[in-house]
Amino acid sequence: MTAQAKGRHTHNGGLPTVLVVNGPNLNLLGIREPEIYGHTTLEDINQQLSELGTELGIRVESFQSNSEGALVDRIQQARGIIDLIIINPAAYTHTSIAIRDALIAIEAPVIEVHLSNVYKRESF
């Protein structure tokens, strides 16, 4: 384990574990609107995150679904197991109270990320 990961609290007794959750249509990265999202695929991103995790002594799990219910289920399954969630809820950023409630319920730190500036895309 690297110096960065030593001494970190982990829920599973092993390496610190980060769950990366990607919402709807992110499976189409590299194809969908490359002028906004680029040509890098979700598979490329997941591979890069896995390699970075290895370097840092962190286990990275990645999950993507187009289904709100599947995203909520996976987040709930992380309770007590995952040390951190990084989530790109994509279109659910604006509408999903269920995902918000699931993130609150797991009692783990959460970082929300986006691939583009959400304030420049939609008027809502």
pLDDT digits (tens, 9 = 90+) for 75-112: 999 999 999 999 999 989 888 999 999 999 999 999 99
What's the mean pLDDT when you consider all of the chain? 88
114 is catalytic: yes
Q: What pTM does this model have?
A: 0.84
Question: Which one has a higher pLDDT value, 96 or 38?
Answer: 96
How many Å apart are CA 15 and CA 7, to the nearest integer? 10
Domain extent for 101: 72-84+93-115
39 is catalytic: no
For residue 122, is it within any domain?
A: no
How many Å apart are CA 23 and CA 26, to the nearest integer? 6
CA dihedral for 44, 45, 51, 55, sign (positive or negative): positive
Number of domains in the chain: 1
- 3-class secondary structure per residue, the chain: CCCCCCCCCCCCCCCCEEEEEECCCHHHCCCCCHHHHCCCCHHHHHHHHHHHHHHHCCEEEEEECCCHHHHHHHHHHCCCCCCEEEEECHHHHCCCHHHHHHHHHCCCCEEECCCCCHHHHCCC
pLDDT at 6: 47
Question: Distances from the Cα of 86 to the Cαs of 31, 33, 35, 49, 69, in angstroms?
Answer: 23, 23, 24, 11, 18
Q: Provide mean pLDDT across the span 44-57.
A: 98
What percentage of the chain reaches a pLDDT higher than 90?
Answer: 71
Q: Provide mean pLDDT across the span 40-68.
A: 97
For residue 6, is it within any domain?
A: no
Does 65 have pLDDT greater than 60?
Answer: yes
Question: Which one has a higher pLDDT value, 64 or 117?
Answer: 64
For residue 16, is it within any domain?
A: no
In the set 11, 92, 94, 114, the catalytic residue is 114
Q: Provide mean pLDDT across the span 46-51.
A: 98
pLDDT at 9: 54
pLDDT at 2: 44
